[in-house]
């Protein structure tokens, strides 16, 4: 639950009061955010044990920064005029509501090299253009706007309302980042980096490996998207948001959650007709319909298998990196333990290289060495799985190879994001992002 303004004892209290006064619903989004005052040592890049603090700040830090869940106030924030304080706080609140630090981490995980300064400029431009119509706050003189960034792309620049409805931060960053190498700027990147001021770097995202679980991130994105939509509708023409911008957080169901759902459905106990046992209704009526008439025999049901079986086929032709392989193995182990399912592991490329069977709850895929490197042919791998009569199979692959055998059981093709455009021969495709 959000804190009431009366209980807030931080440097941004007056700014939040003004936001709530002019835009009660959208300004009230600040009450869902944690606010932390930084002592001088922390604001200068030091550390205070036992206190919430942002990642390492740059030498020329702005008066306010955010890590995506908290707003951190440097001592110099109190010396700013109130309208400028309001501009900074509103700016940081929208960074948090739009999940910009978390989306930087997600983009970095997907494409690898993401320049934080350039990404920060893109996020700032969207937020500043969203707030620029408000007369009761003041943005910094060095603020960059979406129209300026779109001008770097050449061509006609659309009106700001239309641009906000078309551009999100990931698309904007990808369009402007033309660096030929990690340490060299292209023409657009250089001009973008020169915009703004050195102390405008207000995003302090988590370091690699410190982000929340995908399920938690998806839930937070859903919550903030709903809060933004409700707040914008509540304030109407007084809303801090110029329009419902295209940069609203998107709710993405993590592949781990999708895989659990599909396998839980595929490995659920299945019933089969049993002519050796009657139905419960037949037993309850003692096989009779009245005193002189017998019911026809009604076969009952029995479990088709005492233990469900999952086949996991791993394509080791060199298309799946070790980190994704480990995440996938950890998820499969957890699912088979939870569902008490037996596991058949088939490793291969153009032929079967290794087969292992695991009893329910005893699989340890991370101890198996995956060697391969040739081309891929799914036919012998699927035929080998057929011998074990699984209930469902998961194939970890890039989908680069033929599959001339179509089994009777469902198949899930788990594909790395780099190969998400490939088409599966049958079954369902699941992109591991």
Average of pLDDT values for 17-43? 90
What does the pLDDT look like over 111-169, one tens digit per residue? Answer: 888 999 999 999 999 999 999 999 999 999 889 999 999 999 988 999 999 999 999 99
Per residue, what are the HEC states of the chain?
Answer: CCCCHHHCCCCCHHHHHHHHHHCHHHHHHHHHCEEEECCHHHHCCCCCCCCCCCCCCCCCCCCEEECCCEEEECHHHHHCCHHHHHHHHHHHHHHHHCCHHHHHHHHHHHHCCCCHHHHHHHHHHHHHHHHCCCCCCCCCCCCCCHHHHHHCCCCCCCCHHHHHHHCCHHHHHHHHCCCCECCECCHHHHHHHHCCCHHHCCECCCCCCCCCCHHHHHHHHHHHHHHHHHHHHHHHHHCCCCCCCCCCCCCCCCHHHHHHHHHHHHCCCCEEEEEEEECHHHHHCCCECCCCCECCCCEEEEECCCCCEEEEEEECCCCCCHHHHHHHHHHHHHHHHHHCCEEEEEEECCCEEEEEEECCCCCCHHHCCCCCCCCCCHHHHHHHHHCCCCCEEEEECCCCCCCCCCCCCCEEEEEEHHHCCCCCCCCEEEEEC
- Percent of the chain at pLDDT > 90 equals 49
The confidence score (pLDDT) of residue 8 equals: 54
What does the pLDDT look like over 381-413, one tens digit per residue? Answer: 999 999 999 999 999 998 988 999 999 999 999
Distance CA 320, CA 426 (A): 20
The confidence score (pLDDT) of residue 316 equals: 83
**Domain range summary for the chain, segments of one domain joined by +:** 5-252, 271-303, 309-432
More confident residue, 408 or 371: 408
Question: Contact, 126 vs 120, CB < 8 A?
Answer: no
**What's the pTM value of the predicted model, to 2 decimals?**
0.64
What does the pLDDT look like over 336-363, one tens digit per residue? Answer: 888 888 999 999 888 898 899 998 877 7
- Percent of the chain at pLDDT > 70 equals 87
| The pLDDT of residue 270 is above 70 | no
| The pLDDT of residue 41 is above 70 | no
Nearest 5°: CA angle at 369, between 363 and 372? 125
Q: In what order do the strands lie in the sheet with 309-315?
A: 352-358, 342-348, 309-315, 392-396, 411-416, 428-432
Residues 6+ apart with CB under 8 A from 425: 378, 402, 403, 406
| The pLDDT of residue 301 is above 80 | no
Of 346, 351, 386, the closest CA to residue 365 belongs to 346
Average of pLDDT values for 366-390? 81
Distance CA 240, CA 21 (A): 12
The model's confidence at residue 203, banded by pLDDT at 50, 70 and 90, is very high
The model's confidence at residue 5, banded by pLDDT at 50, 70 and 90, is very low
The confidence score (pLDDT) of residue 366 equals: 65
The confidence score (pLDDT) of residue 367 equals: 63
N- to C-terminal Cα separation, the chain: 32
Nearest 5°: CA angle at 11, between 7 and 14? 70
Distance CA 175, CA 172 (A): 5
Give the pairing type, strands 70-73 and 64-66.
antiparallel
Domain 309-432, CATH class in plain words? alpha beta
Mean pLDDT computed over every residue of the chain? 85
More confident residue, 38 or 207: 38
Average of pLDDT values for 65-92? 95
Mean pLDDT check: name the lowest of 105-114, 297-306, 327-336: 297-306
* Phi-psi map region of 379: left, alpha, beta (phi>0 left; psi -120 to 50 alpha): alpha
Give the pairing type, strands 34-37 and 70-73.
parallel
Mean pLDDT check: name the lowest of 55-64, 132-141, 322-331: 55-64
Average of pLDDT values for 236-258? 84
More confident residue, 43 or 65: 65
Helix 82-97 to helix 214-235 angle (10° resolution) is 130
Distance CA 46, CA 162 (A): 43
| The pLDDT of residue 424 is above 70 | yes
Tokens for 291? 């005193």
The confidence score (pLDDT) of residue 175 equals: 93
Question: Contact, 25 vs 239, CB < 8 A?
Answer: yes
Nearest 5°: CA angle at 332, between 326 and 335? 140
Tokens for 361? 């709850």
The confidence score (pLDDT) of residue 50 equals: 40
What does the pLDDT look like over 205-217, one tens digit per residue? Answer: 988 777 777 768 8
More confident residue, 188 or 330: 188
The confidence score (pLDDT) of residue 372 equals: 56
Average of pLDDT values for 273-289? 74
The confidence score (pLDDT) of residue 373 equals: 59
Mean pLDDT check: name the lowest of 38-47, 182-191, 380-389: 38-47
């Amino acid at each position: 639950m959000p804190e009431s303004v009366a209980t807030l004892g931080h440097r941004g209290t007056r700014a939040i009061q003004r936001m709530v006064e002019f835009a009660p619903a959208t300004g009230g989004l600040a009450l869902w955010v944690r606010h932390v005052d930084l002592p001088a040592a922390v604001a200068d890049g030091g550390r205070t044990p036992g206190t919430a603090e942002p990642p390492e700040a740059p030498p020329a830090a702005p008066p306010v920064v955010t890590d995506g869940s908290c707003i951190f106030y440097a001592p110099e924030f109190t010396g700013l005029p109130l309208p400028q304080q309001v501009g900074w706080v509103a700016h940081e609140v929208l960074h948090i509501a739009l999940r910009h630090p978390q989306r930087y981490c997600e983009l970095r995980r997907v494409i690898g090299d993401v320049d934080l300064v350039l990404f920060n400029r893109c996020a700032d431009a969207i937020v500043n253009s969203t707030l620029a119509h408000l007369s009761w706050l003041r943005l910094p003189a060095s603020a960059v706007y979406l129209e300026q960034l779109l001008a770097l792309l050449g061509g006609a620049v659309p009106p700001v309302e239309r641009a906000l409805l078309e551009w999100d931060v990931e698309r904007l960053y990808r369009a402007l980042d033309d660096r030929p190498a990690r340490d060299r700027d292209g023409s657009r990147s250089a001009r973008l980096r020169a915009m703004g001021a050195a102390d405008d770097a207000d995003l302090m995202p988590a370091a690699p490996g410190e982000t929340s679980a995908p399920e938690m991130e998806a839930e937070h994105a859903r919550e903030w998207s709903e809060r933004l939509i409700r707040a914008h509708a509540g304030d109407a023409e007084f809303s801090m948001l110029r329009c419902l911008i295209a940069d609203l957080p998107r709710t993405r169901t993590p592949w781990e959650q999708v895989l659990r759902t599909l396998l839980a459905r595929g490995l659920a106990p299945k019933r089969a007709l049993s002519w050796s046992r009657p139905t419960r209704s037949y037993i309850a009526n003692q096989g009779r319909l009245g005193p002189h008439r017998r019911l026809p025999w009604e076969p009952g049901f029995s479990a088709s298998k005492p233990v469900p079986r999952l086949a996991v086929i791993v394509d080791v032709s060199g298309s799946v990196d070790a980190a994704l392989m480990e995440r996938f193995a950890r998820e499969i182990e957890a699912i088979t333990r939870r569902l008490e399912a037996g596991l058949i592991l088939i490793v291969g490329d153009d032929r079967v290289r290794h087969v292992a069977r695991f009893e329910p709850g005893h699989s340890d895929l991370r101890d198996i060495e995956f060697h391969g490197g040739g081309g891929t042919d799914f036919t012998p791998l699927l035929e080998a799985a057929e011998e074990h009569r699984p209930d469902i199979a998961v194939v970890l692959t890039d989908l680069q190879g033929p599959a001339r055998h179509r089994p009777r059981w469902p198949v899930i093709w788990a594909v790395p994001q780099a190969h998400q455009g490939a088409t599966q021969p049958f079954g369902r495709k699941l992109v591991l992002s």
